[in-house]
């Protein structure tokens, strides 16, 4: 009898045992630091002095009056919407193109996906070189065809800074969107197309009545994921501009980094970083709620 109970305990606990390593790691490297970040945001911790005090919401209150913060917040929102939007546009377009059947499709597929695996630092290098003021291809090309008189400082000039950074970001980020959309397109039952064609639908009607409705869920997932990913983005913007001259392209992430590591105000920087987390948390909750509801509807 004792033996039986023991065995059933083992059976009951087994799944938790399998999950334990993952949960411990996630707790150690994600949850715990995150809680600490929120805690730091409530202190006046700095990089240099080890003693620090609890200041409650002091940092947040201070942030409310910090024009740099509000500027970065606006920048982050605009950056997320514009970059995410372009990623979706290009990703969807290329997915439609690649979804057709043609020769060497596999080769095009691979080549187009490749930017996705390039580490951010290398992407940064590639675009710094492309945008280089004297010897960069872009300037030489534009000068060569006499579109411009003197070289453009793509990563400095207020007019070109944002487009230049966004283009670099789109270049590495859209392949992921493309991949997701291709997955979505392939999951549409080909019989639907056959049936619609048999009903006399043209290619436009096929697109609007079969393709788009079939992609509803993928669209939704991609839009939210892009907003989430682009809102928290740091690497490439930092590598290319470090926030730009005068904070022209300072995002919340780069601002947090400036405050916490360069300006040594860890507590204050943590408050900025925590705000990114709060925004993402809300977005993630929306994501979870809506995807699970979508499942139930089926």
The contact mask relative to other proteins for 171-210 (x = CB under 8 A, - = no) is x-------xx-xxx-xx-----------------------
Whether the Cβ atoms of residue 121 and residue 207 lie closer than 8 Å to each other = no
CB 53 within 8 A of CB 43: yes
Question: Binding to other proteins by residue 114, rule CB under 8 A?
Answer: yes
Query: Which one of residues 19, 64, 158, 286 is an interface residue with other proteins (CB under 8 A)?
Result: 19
Q: Which of 83, 250, 253, 258 lies at the binding interface for other proteins (CB under 8 A)?
A: 253
For residues 214 and 180, give the distance between their C-alpha atoms in angstroms, rounded to a whole number: 13
Whole-angstrom distance, CA of residue 141 vs CA of residue 147: 9
Residue environment code for 146-155, b if the CB has 16+ CB neighbours within 10 A, otherwise e: eeeeebbbbb
Q: How far is the CB of 256 from other proteins (least distance, A)?
A: 6
CB closer to other proteins out of 63 and 260:
260
Tell me which of 56, 119, 163, 213 binds other proteins, using CB under 8 A: 119
H or E element, residue 78: helix 67-98
Q: Which of 190-198, 199-207, 208-216, 233-241 is the region at the interface with other proteins (rule: CB under 8 A)?
A: 233-241
Compute φ and ψ for 48, nearest 5 degrees: -90, -40
Q: Judged by CB under 8 A, which of 94, 165, 166, 237 binds other proteins?
A: 94
Query: Would you say 29 or 57 has its CB closer to other proteins?
Result: 29
CA–CA distance, 138 with 126 (Å, rounded to integer) = 12
Report if residue 14 touches other proteins, rule: CB under 8 A: yes
């Amino acid at each position: 009898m004792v033996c039986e109970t023991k065995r059933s305990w083992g059976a009951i606990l087994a799944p938790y045992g399998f999950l334990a390593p993952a949960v411990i790691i996630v707790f150690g490297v994600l949850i715990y630091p995150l809680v600490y970040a929120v805690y730091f945001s409530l202190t006046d911790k700095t990089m240099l002095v080890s003693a620090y005090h609890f200041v409650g919401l002091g940092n947040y209150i201070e942030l409310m009056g910090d024009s740099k913060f509000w500027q970065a917040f606006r920048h982050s929102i605009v950056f997320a919407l514009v970059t995410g939007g372009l990623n979706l546009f290009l990703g969807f377009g290329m997915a439609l193109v690649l979804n057709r059947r043609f020769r060497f499709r596999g080769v095009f597929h691979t080549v187009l996906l490749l930017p996705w695996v390039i580490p951010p630092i290398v992407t940064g290098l590639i675009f710094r070189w492309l945008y280089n003021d004297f010897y960069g291809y872009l300037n030489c090309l534009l000068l060569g065809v006499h579109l411009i008189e003197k070289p453009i400082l793509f990563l400095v000039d207020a007019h070109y800074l944002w487009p230049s950074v966004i283009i670099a970001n789109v270049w590495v980020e859209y392949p992921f969107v493309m991949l997701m959309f291709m997955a979505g397109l392939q999951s549409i039952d080909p019989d639907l197309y056959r049936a619609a064609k048999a009903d006399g639908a043209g290619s436009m009607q096929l697109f609007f009545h079969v393709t788009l409705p079939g992609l509803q869920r993928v669209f939704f997932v991609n839009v939210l994921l892009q907003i989430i990913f682009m809102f928290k983005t740091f690497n490439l913007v930092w590598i290319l501009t470090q926030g730009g001259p005068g904070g022209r392209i300072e995002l919340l992430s780069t601002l947090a980094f400036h405050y916490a590591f360069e300006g040594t105000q860890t507590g204050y920087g943590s408050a900025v970083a925590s705000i990114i987390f709060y925004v993402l948390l809300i977005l993630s909750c929306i994501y979870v709620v809506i995807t699970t509801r979508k499942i139930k509807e089926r």
